[in-house]
Structure 1
Amino acid sequence: MKNLVVLTGAGISAESGIKTFRDEDGLWEGHDVMQVASPMGWKKNKELVLDFYNKRRRQLLSVQPNKAHLVLAELENDFNVEVITQNIDDLHERAGSSNVLHLHGELLKVRSTFDEDLLLDWKQDLNIGDFCEHNFQLRPHVVWFGEAVPMMEKAIQKVSNADIIAIVGTSMQVYPAAGLVDFAPPKTPMYFIDPKPNISENNYLSILAEKAVTGVPKLAKELREKFNR
């Protein structure tokens, strides 16, 4: 089977009701992004940061995967599908995708502030005084601004082995994730699904100017007809 790498962002989860955090004025739920998504913000006001992610976690547990998530999972019947997502939700996994790499961490996991490799599954609120086994405070398992993206090398490896690339729900404007497509093999067919595309088609790039829930089923049909004969 051909290797299909799917890069997803906030747009695919927004259609499940997940807020995309950042408003047009650049604020996240009324907060400057550096207050709630940076090591500096964490150091200054841990309670504010924990409350922000507790609200996100509660919201995530109240929504369901949408048609786009489900169709991407179904494509595993016809392709070797690797999902690389900028999202911190688990909607791809709940939809049935078995190969999901989270570039920016996972909302339903927390990690030790003593050992960043010490991860715990976490579905309840995270509070001051919730410690790891080494008696250090737990923090959200989310990559904040100014922090390294530890999964980047794995993502580059997956993209470099792609036969087909699909980009769904992300404008690919945020680095380092935006640079991933540069590692695709030459002439790799790419598909870009976005209701307001900011790029133009060429010989190897096809654009579906639609939301994820309508664009992904059309993409799946085209991929099956073109590559899975």
Structure 2
Amino acid sequence: MRRLFVLTGAGVSAESGLGTFRDPGGIWAKFDPMKLATPEAFAADPDRVHAFYNLRRRNLLSAAPNAAHGALASLATGLAARGGGLFLCTQNIDDLHERAGSAQVHHMHGELLRSRCLGCGARAPCRDELKTATACGACGRAGRLRPDVVWFGEMPLGLEAIETALAEADLFVAIGTSGSVYPAAGFVETARGFGIRTCEINLAPSDNAAMFDECRCGPAGEAVPAFVAEMLDGR
């Protein structure tokens, strides 16, 4: 019986056509995050922030899961059949894990296809464009809806659940992460503190690759299915 904690980052969705963030040519090389991904930016210019996230939402809706997403869904099913389990935690705000068949995904940075009302706090699915004139379906007020994502300066979601899952795991795997964004970059250190073996799967070694017991380099669409096949073969 194995219990795995898998953390995924932008690299797992790159082959689906979704941009990474800190790589050369990534999203934050083209856009200033302080003008688009902070509560202060939204308060100062909500129309500009909405336009950016509407563009990302359209990009996501035209994308499809890749082999890495599918392999992780198979891993969850295979581990459950053996009495084990998978805690799949993602830094990504896309829904590609779910579309590939993963039934339970912990979105620590929120979800692009959901909105949140700053007035009443209601959260709701959102596949259409958001504008300042869009009214909240719960309270009816306009100008209060924002993407239900975690911006710079905000606390990631469900950190207690994450720590509990790490404590219960016997293997921590980071896939497609930069190793530079905290608190996620610190999960490998937490795992090591619990005495858990650690593995990184990345196109190139991350900023904190030296913290891992094992590093595998290659495209996620190739490296992740190979890793999952080994796990399910009992190797």
Moved more, 55-64 or 181-190: 181-190
SS in 2 for 1:126: coil
Q: How far does the alpha carbon of each residue in 1:27-86 deviate from its partner, in whole angstroms, 9 at most, with x for none?
A: 637431111000110011000000000000000000100000000000123221111000
Question: Between Structure 1 and Structure 2, how many residues are aligned?
Answer: 224
Q: Distance in 1 between matches of 2:62 and 2:218?
A: 25
Q: Distance in 2 between matches of 1:195 and 1:29?
A: 19
Provide closer, same or farther for how the CA distance between residues 162 and 17 of structure 1 changes in structure 2, counting only shifts above 3 A.
same
Provide closer, same or farther for how the CA distance between residues 169 and 25 of structure 1 changes in structure 2, counting only shifts above 3 A.
closer
Unaligned runs of 5+ in 1: none
Q: 1:127 offset after TM fit, Å?
A: 0.8
1:179 correspondence with 2:180:
no
Give the structure 1 partner of residue 89 of structure 2: 84
Name the % identity. Answer: 41
Unaligned runs of 5+ in 2: 80-84
Give the structure 1 partner of residue 108 of structure 2: 103
1:218 correspondence with 2:226:
yes
Higher helix share: 2
Give the structure 2 partner of residue 73 of structure 1: 73
Q: Distance in 1 between matches of 2:27 and 2:58?
A: 20
Give the structure 1 partner of residue 215 of structure 2: 207
Give the structure 1 partner of residue 82 of structure 2: none
TM-score, length basis structure 2: 0.88
Q: Distance in 2 between matches of 1:56 and 1:220?
A: 29
Runs of 4+ in 1 over 4 A off after TM superposition: none
Q: Distance in 2 between matches of 1:193 and 1:86?
A: 15
CA contact (8 A) 2:188 2:211 kept: no
Moved more, 136-145 or 52-61: 136-145
State which of 110, 121, 128 in structure 2 corresponds to 1:124. 128
Q: 1:187 offset after TM fit, Å?
A: 3.1
Q: Distance in 1 between matches of 2:7 and 2:128?
A: 28
Q: CA RMSD in A?
A: 2.0
Q: How far does the alpha carbon of each residue in 1:95-122 deviate from its partner, in whole angstroms, 9 at most, with x for none?
A: 0011200011100000001233x10001
CA contact (8 A) 1:26 1:33 kept: no
1:113 correspondence with 2:121:
no
